[in-house]
């Protein structure tokens, strides 16, 4: 296996989270409001999606979905243009545990929604009957189209799902031909071998850029956080707030868990800031006079500048060193 892939496979896994629920939307057609479809210009008129139920009816489900995606985004790196997300081993237990908790919330919200579905549907149809006259000269047709868009209660179950899938990164060596007859194999074997070679080459190529982007991303996040903290300190009514300091403390811990590549230089800078700036409380900074606050601001500005400078640097050496770990592990195993 390619040394970079060897190291990457050892340091984490790919994760994909899919949340499905009935969205309670319908895209209106011209016929639904009494218009002739061949006389409606799609270039000029868009009927758009209409809510079948009030937004609050599915709010609990939508909240779980957004929290699940936010959790993944905050604790992973997008891999292969977002096709999946790479979660470092140090974050895997935390992420999967929180996803299990969110999944439990999702199914609870789903059961509550299904239990109320009949009442929600009846109330929504009553509202549609009231306002259908504003949409069309034939309100009965509008209401009939809306009513038909509500799925039968017994079919709702299959419209809900909360799926978490974990994958190991692997390069295809061959694409299976076991289910094809001999004649088909002769025609397809070369095409499939070529497809496997191209896929393997693409994954190897993107793996190197992915690892470099992970390094750059964490460095950029460091600079951004320092900038945000300085802005908060300089514009806030109380100056230095404990919540502001806590953000950096949490970020340093998060960085250490996300730093699967081994960016020792950036991690050392963060640990220095922890030692020199974060042993004081916000109250101590506020009562320490202008010199204490100046020390904090100077330290944050310096860290931001360093992080920005590191983010601009070529990470090739760090990526190669990371790949070298995989090569040494492979040689030891052999």
Amino acid 64: pLDDT: 98
Backbone angles phi, psi at 18, to 5 degrees: -120, 125
Domain count for the chain, please give it: 2
Amino acid 237: pLDDT: 83
Examine residue 328 and state whether it is found in any structural domain, yes or no: no
How many Cα atoms within 13 Å fall on the side-chain side of residue 215?
25
Q: How confident is the model at residue 5 (pLDDT cuts 50, 70, 90)?
A: confident
Determine whether 114 is exposed, middle or buried from the number of CB atoms within 10 Å of its CB (0-12, 13-18, 19+): middle
Examine residue 94 and state whether it is found in any structural domain, yes or no: yes
Asked if residue 81 and residue 158 are part of one domain, the reply reads: yes
Asked if residue 80 and residue 155 are part of one domain, the reply reads: yes
Q: Average pLDDT of 212-224?
A: 97
Asked if residue 304 and residue 224 are part of one domain, the reply reads: yes
Examine residue 252 and state whether it is found in any structural domain, yes or no: yes
Q: How confident is the model at residue 280 (pLDDT cuts 50, 70, 90)?
A: very high
Amino acid 277: pLDDT: 97
Task: Return d(Cα 207, Cα 202) in angstroms, integer.
Answer: 8
- DSSP-based three-state secondary structure for 166: strand
Domain final residue pick, 112, 133, 167: 167
Asked if residue 196 and residue 139 are part of one domain, the reply reads: no
Q: What is the pTM of this model?
A: 0.80
Q: Average pLDDT of 28-43?
A: 47
Q: Is the pLDDT of residue 48 over 70?
A: no
Examine residue 144 and state whether it is found in any structural domain, yes or no: yes
Looking at the chain, the whole-number percentage of residues with pLDDT higher than 70 is 80
Q: Is the pLDDT of residue 329 over 50?
A: no
pLDDT in tens, 71-97: 999 999 998 777 889 999 999 999 999
Examine residue 183 and state whether it is found in any structural domain, yes or no: no
Q: Average pLDDT of 297-316?
A: 97
Give the best-scoring range by mean pLDDT among 59-73, 124-138, 140-154.
Answer: 59-73
Mean pLDDT over each residue of the chain, to the nearest integer: 84
Instruction: Report which DSSP code applies to 281.
Output: -
Amino acid 174: pLDDT: 54
Amino acid 138: pLDDT: 75
Domain final residue pick, 150, 167, 184: 167
Asked if residue 112 and residue 27 are part of one domain, the reply reads: yes
Examine residue 80 and state whether it is found in any structural domain, yes or no: yes
Q: Is the pLDDT of residue 59 over 80?
A: yes
Pick from 162, 166, 35: which is nearest to 111 by CA? 162
| Contacting residues for 24 by C-beta, under 8 A, at least 6 apart | 51, 52, 53, 57, 58
Asked if residue 282 and residue 149 are part of one domain, the reply reads: no
Q: Is the pLDDT of residue 225 over 50?
A: yes
Amino acid 195: pLDDT: 64
Asked if residue 217 and residue 141 are part of one domain, the reply reads: no
pLDDT in tens, 158-215: 999 999 999 887 765 554 545 445 555 555 666 656 666 676 677 777 888 999 999 9
Q: Is the pLDDT of residue 150 over 50?
A: yes
Amino acid 96: pLDDT: 96
Least confident interval from 267-281, 294-308, 319-333:
319-333
Asked if residue 162 and residue 99 are part of one domain, the reply reads: yes
Q: Average pLDDT of 257-286?
A: 96
Q: How confident is the model at residue 328 (pLDDT cuts 50, 70, 90)?
A: very low
Q: How confident is the model at residue 324 (pLDDT cuts 50, 70, 90)?
A: confident
Domain that holds residue 100: 3-167
Asked if residue 119 and residue 55 are part of one domain, the reply reads: yes
Amino acid 43: pLDDT: 39
Q: How confident is the model at residue 45 (pLDDT cuts 50, 70, 90)?
A: very low
Asked if residue 238 and residue 95 are part of one domain, the reply reads: no
Asked if residue 79 and residue 138 are part of one domain, the reply reads: yes
Looking at the chain, the whole-number percentage of residues with pLDDT higher than 90 is 58
Task: Return d(Cα 229, Cα 144) in angstroms, integer.
Answer: 55
Q: Is the pLDDT of residue 148 over 70?
A: yes
Asked if residue 243 and residue 146 are part of one domain, the reply reads: no
Determine whether 83 is exposed, middle or buried from the number of CB atoms within 10 Å of its CB (0-12, 13-18, 19+): exposed
Amino acid 46: pLDDT: 40
């Amino acid at each position: 296996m390619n040394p970079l892939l060897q190291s990457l496979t050892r340091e984490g896994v790919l994760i994909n989270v899919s949340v499905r629920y009935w969205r309670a939307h319908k895209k209106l057609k011209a016929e639904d409001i009494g218009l002739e479809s061949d006389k409606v210009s799609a270039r000029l008129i868009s009927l758009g999606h209409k809510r079948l139920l009030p937004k609050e009816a599915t709010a609990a489900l939508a909240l779980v979905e957004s929290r699940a995606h936010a959790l993944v985004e905050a604790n992973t790196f997008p891999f292969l243009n977002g096709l999946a997300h790479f979660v470092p081993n140090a974050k895997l237990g935390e992420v999967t545990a929180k996803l299990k908790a969110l999944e439990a919330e999702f199914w609870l919200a789903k059961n509550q929604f299904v239990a109320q579905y009949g009442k929600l549907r009846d109330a929504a149809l009553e509202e549609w009957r009231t306002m259908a006259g504003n949409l069309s000269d034939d309100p009965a047709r509008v209401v009939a189209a809306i009513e038909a868009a509500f799925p039968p209660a017994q079919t709702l179950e299959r419209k809900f799902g909360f799926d978490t899938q974990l994958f190991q990164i692997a390069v295809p060596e061959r694409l299976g031909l076991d289910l094809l007859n001999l004649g088909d194999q002769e025609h397809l074997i070369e095409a499939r071998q070529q497809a496997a070679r191209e896929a393997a080459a693409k994954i190897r190529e993107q793996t190197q850029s992915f690892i470099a982007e992970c390094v750059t991303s964490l460095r950029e996040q460091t600079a951004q956080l320092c900038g945000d903290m300085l802005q908060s300190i300089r514009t806030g009514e109380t100056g230095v707030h404990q919540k502001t300091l806590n953000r950096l403390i949490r970020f340093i811990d998060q960085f250490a868990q996300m730093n699967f590549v081994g960016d020792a230089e950036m991690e050392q800078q963060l640990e220095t800031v922890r030692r020199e700036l974060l042993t004081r409380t916000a109250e101590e900074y506020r009562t320490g006079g202008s010199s204490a606050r100046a020390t904090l601001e100077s330290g944050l500005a310096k860290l931001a500048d360093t992080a920005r400078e590191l983010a601009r640097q070529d990470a090739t050496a760090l990526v190669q060193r990371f790949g070298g770990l995989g090569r040494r592990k492979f040689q030891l195993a052999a």
